[in-house]
Structure 1
Amino acid sequence: MSVLAETSWKLTVIFVGFLVYSWIWIITNIPELFTLGVIYGFLMLSGMIISVFLISTNKPVFGFPPLRLMPETTIVGAFIGLLSVLISGAISQLPLFQVSIYMQLPPLIALFFAVLISCTEESFFRGALLPVVYYYGNENVIQAIIHNSILFTILHWVAYQASIPSLISSFIFSIIVSAASLHYKSGYVGMIAHVTYNLMILHSITGFP
């Protein structure tokens, strides 16, 4: 019970269920996103398996924080997201594949997709993978952050055909977000940062929202 008490457990379970349902809906209804839907669906399934393992061994999943920390983690996450937009804009351009995805989707679907991929990536990489690397990889904080960020960057290379500068931006973003997630023992701060970042990118491409 002490492990479950470290996070807003019911909110985390409900939210993960929403993510799973959303990817099933995308895979079955939006052909343009089928391949990405399969990739992210696999991430969700893997994250749930890892989470069950963590809980069964009395280690925490980095889910939503306690409600008293919601305001602080929201502000920190939004700041990280805005900072990451500035860093990314200084060293890279968006992958053409990612730009084409946003351009071909209806605005509301593009908005939904931008939020969904942000939350899914953070649920897997910061919510499930980061704690298992940290607690079971015999690693210190810095090693866990670096290894988690390498895997995060590989996903963006595979899924979005990103350039080297874009991959560097993803790696830097992941370093910052992973550090914040370990500090709060919550993936929520990363979700806010990632959603903020992706919404800013979506707006720069489409003018929406």
Structure 2
Amino acid sequence: MDFAIPIGRLRDLEDVTLIIRPGSAVAVGGGPSGYDELPIPLEEAARLAAPYAEAYDEFLAKVAEALGAAYAPPQSSDITAWLEAHVRAVEALGARWAAAVDAKGPFTVRRRVARLYIPYMGSSLTATYLLYPFEGAVVSADNRGRTMAIGSAVVEWGGVVVYKAGLRTLPGAIVLAQAEPDLAPPLPRIAEAVAELAARVNSLRGTGA
């Protein structure tokens, strides 16, 4: 698992992405001699990540509420513990969404989305794809399961599949919410929460330098 955050400038690096993993952090960006990586102490990484972690916590709390649950975020000062707890919460909320989508029975979706935001890829938090959404992406899903949803929400961009998320996962719900919010009752509120998260991350661009 990791947390990828586009933070702008950091020290001598431009267009920096801060990547936090359990026990380590690195800043990746363009330096005086080209592409470079800079190890970052976890305490500093936690400080830089704090406003983004807060934005993700607010987002997940809204998603939890839409799914009839609650999310109590941990302290982000221990960024490793925060990341692990956040990923566990995403998985737990995915189980709630699975029950909702299983109840839908078979359905087919194919819809072009003006801007598709992807806050999660598997167990990774990808703030990068909130700042740089997939514009004009096509979302498709073909669920033939009658008692349990089967398959993935597939994202095509420029004619190429760039992302897949299981229909019974929270990342899959987030993709469907942006493409077909009328599919299930929680999705309109999830779509609204995604848009708010993207706006918040865009407002934070560069503030961690």
Q: Judge same fold: TM > 0.5, yes or no.
A: no
TM-score (norm 2): 0.27
- Select the structure with the greater relative contact order (CA < 8 A; seq sep ≥ 6): 1
Q: Give the structure with the higher percent strand.
A: 2
Larger Rg over CA atoms: 2
